[in-house]
Chains A and B, each alone.
Chain A
């Protein structure tokens, strides 16, 4: 029995067949199951990206949260109401108090919310900069009230301004501080202070 004269052709065909099958198999394994042929991406990645944990909860998560068992519930609500009616109405709680995820995790408090009473917090927005929009309130020692009470940029802002409602100046517990700043100026605090601060 002699070897077919076309044996080399058959061998070639078999090898090409194996090669093609191998390519198809590897290609099949390399393409993810949820591959979108039209838009060329893995559709499952959308679901995976959604799993990233959230850090910021937004005001709705903080306002009137029922987390606290004590007077803090009322305190939260009070601050939130003050915030929404004042000049700082557009602010998020987390803008100053840090992300919710650092305060609460798995429904439990992990650390107290950030409370920065330093001027650095206020000046982050209100330090005078030439690039800030015109009309945006920026600290000025020449400002009527500031000038009157010799307020400098280092004077604690909180002595007079309530950060939750900054227009509500000279709150009763802080009035004595104002009087100290006023020094020897003789005046009737109950109404003159109010006029100056308008």
Chain B
């Protein structure tokens, strides 16, 4: 009786030790194991896409269709813009830049004096660059802004506290605090459309194909071709944001 008990105790202690070690190992490696079991398909599908946006400056006619479509598609409050068009007029005296109401309703001609002095003039559409190294993502204190596996920089509306750190951090000025929702807002490359196989609203309505959107993993896409031809620029390369918005024919005066 006594012998049996002491043997049972030793076995019990051995099992306890082995069990604790196993539990410890599982607790440490739990998340990768669970992730590997559950999200493998999802992660794989997401990684199949690597989206990029191309703006051909030489094709933009400044009609404002993209800005209007964006506002309708995303219910952007009046006076705020997820995308906008800038007009550059380069003269010997300096560079004039304007964007009346974001270029939403097009542009009236510049005054005759300025037009006569113009050495070069063009329209420049701007939007979120969906940077691979996005400063806005780095500064968000609550993890409400992030870069999805497919390359969309997004805002989690449930999580954003509207502190506007990201608005200040963005080198391109694409973020704003939505005046109705009181949270950070920005271009999403129409994530909801792209996930259903549609193009972003601005790309859909652009009459001159100045805006292009596609998957870099698809060698036949326009954006992949642009990358291959290697004649593109990004805005503020010195910021090392790894912008995924590529500009064709970007004049040097653009800052």
Contact = CB atoms under 8 A, between A and B. Distances in A.
Contacts of A90: 207-209
A68 interface: no
Nearest to A138: B61
Interface stretch (B7-15, B162-170, B192-200): B192-200
B63 A130 contact: no
A50 B64 CA distance: 26
Nearest to A135: B58
A72 interface: no
Interface SS, A side: loop
B124 to A, nearest CB: 10
Given A55-B72, A55-B73, A56-B201, A131 B89 contact: yes
A54 B73 contact: yes
Given A41-B156, A42-B158, A46-B154, A131 B62 contact: yes
Interface in A86-132: 88, 90-92, 94-95, 99, 124-125, 127-132
Given A56-B69, A131-B89, A125 B204 contact: no
Contacts of A46: 148, 154
Given A42-B158, A45-B158, A46-B148, A54 B191 contact: no
Given A41-B146, A49-B191, A99-B73, A129 B207 contact: no
B190 to A, nearest CB: 9
B192 A129 contact: no
B110 A131 contact: yes
Chain B, interface size category, equals 35 or more
B247 to A, nearest CB: 14
B165 to A, nearest CB: 14
A19 interface: no
A55 B62 CA distance: 22
A101 to B, nearest CB: 8
A53 B193 CA distance: 8
A48 interface: yes
B248 interface: no
A99 B69 contact: yes
A48 B158 contact: yes
A190 interface: no
A188 interface: no
A45 B198 CA distance: 20
B106 A124 contact: yes
Contacts of A51: 192
Given A40-B143, A131-B62, A56 B73 contact: yes
A40 B63 CA distance: 39
Contacts of A127: 106, 109
Given A45-B159, A124-B63, A58 B192 contact: no
B65 interface: yes
Nearest to A52: B192
A54 B158 contact: no
A104 B193 CA distance: 17
A133 interface: yes
A46 B201 CA distance: 19
A129 B156 contact: no
B198 A54 contact: yes
A133 B60 CA distance: 7
Interface of B: 31, 39, 58-65, 69, 72-74, 87-89, 106-107, 109-110, 115, 118, 121-123, 143-148, 154, 156-159, 188, 191-193, 195-196, 198-199, 201, 204-209
Given A53-B192, A57-B198, A131-B107, 19 more contacts: A39-B146, A42-B159, A45-B154, A49-B191, A50-B191, A55-B72, A56-B69, A56-B73, A56-B193, A56-B201, A58-B198, A58-B199, A58-B204, A90-B207, A90-B209, A124-B64, A124-B106, A128-B109, A131-B122
Which 4 pairs from chain A and chain B are nearest by CB? A41-B146, A52-B192, A45-B156, A131-B121
